[in-house]
């Protein structure tokens, strides 16, 4: 840590006292932790609030999930909490963890660990430790290697986690190489904490992440996905994303992000797609109304993923990316599938990427009411997100152009609202349902009904609602043209 980034000693002492008092106060008003501590002490064992719980308490954001460590083995822990806990679960028993619930709090109690890794996968070989210091040393970062003993509230910080928390820096208890060699996922966790807490990684940590990025290949796609999702949903995802690209970690599981760094030369200038993308993500975050909208953020991140593959330079030196939304949607679907995202989430993000350019051209006055209906119908329940993504995509520094784009989209939203007031745009469907089609044409359920339904829906999109007589006349006209009726 440089002198410039380190807090003055007096400031550090003052902050330490204030934060220690905050932890003690939080524990004082939360009797569950002290009750549990007394039960372990009476049984001849230690109990410590530890890890993220201590970190979050110091930051004033302790939630309802509390992490503890103890010298008691799982069987002993079960005996101690039986009859006290309202519910108990043993899903983590293989790793020495017993879960319990009491007074609305979820408690995870883990036996001291001194685990080692096989250097091939992330799976640890669990070896129970014998001391708190040994347990804290094996944790990922110093800010997660602090403990508060119960019930006496003694604070333990052997690796300077409190100083690092004050300086907002992410550092490892052991050397970064040793820590990441044991568990490569910790490199991604460093970027995730940087995004969640708005912290900087220590230069030694940054160097190790860069040199050991390829070790991330040892980690399963599901675990990488979960860490990346938390990163993207952090308070400052841009910091985390830059770390992934700068260290080469993104190349291991999300190469499309690094690929946005297209070469820009004096003969074929275009907007910096990488920087533009980060700005779009930042804009999208500003449009959120109630916590992280992962689907919107992921669509913002990948909306231009198809540009590298579609870049072309014309004879006039102008750069184009024709149909990059189509290519981008295909790449997005493949990448999210590889990262094991659920099909429903993948489908929504892919659809937003495919639709994000649809609005451009509206300002030229070419859109009919039919085009507006199709825009709404194609977006479906993604329309609110599409509005936000399209507005986020406007990153031009030309104030006049930015104002015009904003005005055009205001006009489109007003037009959608006007048409919606006249028609049920949220549920665009044919004016005759399947039963009416079968009755009028005298056909059983089957492909003919589906074709007829599709035709009537096209008419509905093109012309708006038809009354019953007009809808029936149109169906009969279509059926005759298809040779289905004389």
* pLDDT tens track for 314-327: 777 787 788 899 99
Label each residue of 342-359 as H, E or C: CHHHHHHHHHHHHHCCCC
Dist. CA 468–CA 464, nearest whole Å? 13
* Residues in contact with 266: Cβ distance below 8 Å, sequence separation at least 6, in sequence order: none
Span 19-46, average pLDDT: 83
Please report the pLDDT score of residue 428 as a whole number: 52
DSSP code at position 231: H
Q: Residues 437, 453: contact at Cβ < 8 Å?
A: yes
Core vs surface per residue 154-163: b (16+ CB within 10 A) or e = ebbbebbbbb
Reported as a single tens digit per residue, the pLDDT across 282-305 is: 999 999 988 999 999 999 999 999
| 432 pLDDT higher than 50 | yes
Please report the pLDDT score of residue 435 as a whole number: 79
The average confidence (pLDDT) of the chain is 85
| 11 pLDDT higher than 60 | no
Question: How would residue 268 be classed by pLDDT, with cut points 50, 70 and 90?
Answer: very low
| 466 pLDDT higher than 50 | yes
Please report the pLDDT score of residue 6 as a whole number: 38
The hierarchical CATH code for the domain 1-167 is 3.30.460.10
3-state secondary structure of 409: helix
Which of the residue ranges 122-126, 180-184, 247-251, 269-273 would you say has the lowest mean pLDDT? Answer: 122-126
Which residues are bridge partners to 47 per DSSP? 70
Which of the residue ranges 52-66, 160-174, 259-273, 303-317 would you say has the lowest mean pLDDT? Answer: 259-273
Dist. CA 396–CA 402, nearest whole Å? 6
Q: Higher-confidence residue: 264 or 366?
A: 366
Question: How would residue 153 be classed by pLDDT, with cut points 50, 70 and 90?
Answer: confident
Dist. CA 369–CA 379, nearest whole Å? 16
Span 326-352, average pLDDT: 97
Q: Higher-confidence residue: 475 or 356?
A: 356
Dist. CA 44–CA 29, nearest whole Å? 25
User: What distances in angstroms separate CA 51 from CA 54, 156, 199, 328, one per listed residue?
Assistant: 6, 11, 17, 40
- For residue 152, the number of C-alpha atoms closer than 13 Å in the C-beta half-sphere is 7
Listed ranges 226-230, 272-276, 442-446, 451-455; the one with the highest mean pLDDT: 226-230
Dist. CA 141–CA 54, nearest whole Å? 13
Please report the pLDDT score of residue 323 as a whole number: 84
Per DSSP bridges, beta strands 65-70 and 116-117 are unpaired
* Residues in contact with 192: Cβ distance below 8 Å, sequence separation at least 6, in sequence order: 227, 228, 230, 231, 234, 240
Which of the residue ranges 53-57, 193-197, 263-267 would you say has the lowest mean pLDDT? Answer: 263-267
Reported as a single tens digit per residue, the pLDDT across 343-377 is: 999 999 999 999 998 887 665 666 777 778 778 88
Q: Higher-confidence residue: 153 or 455?
A: 153
Dist. CA 192–CA 468, nearest whole Å? 57
Span 93-102, average pLDDT: 93
Dist. CA 83–CA 458, nearest whole Å? 65
Span 451-459, average pLDDT: 76
Question: How would residue 28 be classed by pLDDT, with cut points 50, 70 and 90?
Answer: low
Helical spans, DSSP H, in 248-339: 250-253, 255-259, 273-287, 294-302, 307-310, 324-338
Please report the pLDDT score of residue 111 as a whole number: 95
Please report the pLDDT score of residue 477 as a whole number: 82
């Amino acid at each position: 840590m440089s002198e410039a980034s380190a807090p003055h000693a007096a400031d550090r002492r003052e902050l330490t006292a204030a934060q220690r008092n905050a932890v003690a106060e939080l524990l004082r008003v939360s009797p569950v932790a002290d009750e549990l501590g007394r039960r372990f002490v009476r049984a001849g064992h230690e109990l410590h609030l530890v890890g993220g719980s201590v970190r979050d308490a110091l930051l004033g954001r302790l939630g309802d999930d509390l992490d503890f460590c103890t010298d008691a083995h799982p069987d002993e822990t079960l005996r101690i909490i039986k009859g006290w806990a309202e519910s108990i679960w043993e899903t983590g028993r293989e790793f020495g963890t017993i879960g319990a619930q009491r007074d609305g709090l979820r408690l995870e109690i883990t036996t001291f660990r001194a685990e080692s890794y096989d250097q091939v996968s992330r799976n640890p070989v669990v070896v129970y430790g014998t001391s708190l210091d040994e347990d804290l040393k094996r944790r990922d970062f110093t800010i997660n290697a602090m403990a508060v003993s119960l019930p006496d509230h003694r604070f333990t910080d052997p690796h300077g986690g409190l100083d690092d928390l004050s300086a907002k820096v992410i550092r490892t208890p052991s050397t970064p190489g040793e820590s990441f060699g044991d568990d490569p996922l910790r490199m991604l966790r460093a970027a995730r904490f940087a995004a969640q807490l708005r912290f900087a990684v220590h230069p030694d940590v940054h160097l190790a992440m860069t040199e050991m990025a390829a070790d991330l290949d040892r980690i399963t796609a599901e675990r990488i996905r979960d860490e990346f999702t938390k990163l993207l949903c952090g308070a400052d995802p841009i910091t985390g994303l830059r770390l992934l690209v700068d260290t080469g970690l993104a190349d291991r599981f999300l190469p499309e992000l690094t690929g946005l760094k297209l070469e820009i030369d004096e003969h074929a200038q275009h907007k910096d797609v990488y920087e533009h993308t980060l700005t779009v993500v930042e804009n999208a975050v500003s449009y959120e109304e109630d916590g992280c909208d992962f689907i919107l953020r992921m669509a913002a991140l990948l909306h231009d993923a198809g540009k590298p593959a579609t870049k072309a330079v014309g004879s006039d030196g102008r750069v184009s990316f024709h149909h990059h939304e189509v290519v981008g949607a295909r790449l997005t679907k493949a990448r999210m599938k590889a990262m094991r995202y659920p099909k429903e989430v993948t489908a929504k993000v892919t659809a937003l990427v495919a639709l994000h350019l649809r609005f451009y051209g509206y300002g030229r006055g070419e859109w009919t009411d039919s085009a507006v209906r199709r825009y709404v119908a194609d977006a479906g329940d993604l329309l609110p997100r599409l509005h936000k993504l399209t507005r986020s995509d406007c990153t031009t520094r030309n104030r006049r152009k930015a104002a015009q784009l904003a005005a055009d989209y205001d006009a489109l939203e007003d037009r959608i609202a006007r048409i919606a007031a006249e028609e049920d745009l949220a549920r665009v469907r044919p004016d005759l349902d399947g039963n009416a089609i079968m009755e009028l044409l005298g056909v059983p359920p089957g492909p003919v009904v589906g074709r007829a339904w599709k035709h009537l829906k096209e008419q509905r999109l093109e012309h708006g609602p038809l009354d019953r007589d007009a809808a029936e006349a149109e169906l009969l006209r279509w059926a005759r043209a298809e040779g289905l009726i004389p």
